[in-house]
Amino acid sequence: MAEASMTLITRAEVTSISDVTTGRKALVLDGNTLELGTTGLRDLSGMFKSGSVLGGRVIVRRTGSTVTWHFIGVQIAANATHPWEIITASSALLPFAPEVNIYEAAMSNGSDTGRILIDAAGAVSVHYGEPSNSYTAVITFNTGRSWPSSLPGVVNGQSVGV
């Protein structure tokens, strides 16, 4: 039995929708839209700076104001110069960028640990590592930036064209 202060929905038409432009998901309940506020996993590997990265993947997700970046085996080119910019700043990345620069340790499959920097302009670089090594890290932070009108990269699992 429902309490007097609660509303019991006896019949409702519920539809799940996804905006193909922004990738945001929503529920429509009797004509009222409730956005769920998640971009899903987006693969940004197609945005790697040419000549800087030999392989690996970068996946990003935003849920509400929480952004999580996954760096998976990102291999720095042997002839790249320090610091190694792997993704150039882009207005498309601003909704996924911190409001201040954020560094995080990145483990290498070699014998060293580098640091990954996601800067406030949306650029991503590796510092204090070794060329030819692959780096893996997860960076999570909160942002107050506006939601994007369109999403960078591709849905995780789709071809990124690299």
Q: Work out the number of other CB atoms within 10 angstroms of the CB of residue 92.
A: 16
Q: If we measure between CA atoms, which residue out of 58, 114, 120, 61 comes closest to residue 86?
A: 58
Q: Where in the chain is the domain with CATH 2.60.40.1830?
A: 42-143
Q: Report the C-alpha gap between 105 and 65 in whole angstroms.
A: 22
Question: For position 20, what pLDDT does the model report?
Answer: 54
Question: For position 5, what pLDDT does the model report?
Answer: 62
Q: What is the DSSP letter of 79?
A: T
Question: For position 54, what pLDDT does the model report?
Answer: 92
CA distance between the termini of the chain:
57
Q: Report the C-alpha gap between 36 and 84 in whole angstroms.
A: 36
Quick check: pTM over 0.85?
no
- Asked if residue 68 lies in contact with residue 139, where contact means CB atoms within 8 angstroms, the answer is yes
Distances (CA, A) of 144 to 44, 66, 134, 139, 161: 21, 9, 31, 16, 31
Q: Report the C-alpha gap between 115 and 108 in whole angstroms.
A: 10
Beta-carbon contacts of 69 under 8 Å, excluding residues fewer than 6 positions away, are: 58, 59, 60, 96, 118, 124, 137, 138, 139, 140
Strands (E), 2-49: 14-18, 25-29, 32-35, 42-43
Per residue in 8-32, pLDDT tens? 555 556 666 665 555 555 666 666 6
Question: For position 1, what pLDDT does the model report?
Answer: 47
Question: For position 88, what pLDDT does the model report?
Answer: 95
Residue 141 tokens, joined: 């932070």
Architecture per CATH, domain 42-143, reads as Sandwich (2.60)
Question: For position 25, what pLDDT does the model report?
Answer: 59
Low-confidence ranges of the chain (pLDDT < 70): 1-36, 80, 110, 157-162
Question: For position 27, what pLDDT does the model report?
Answer: 62
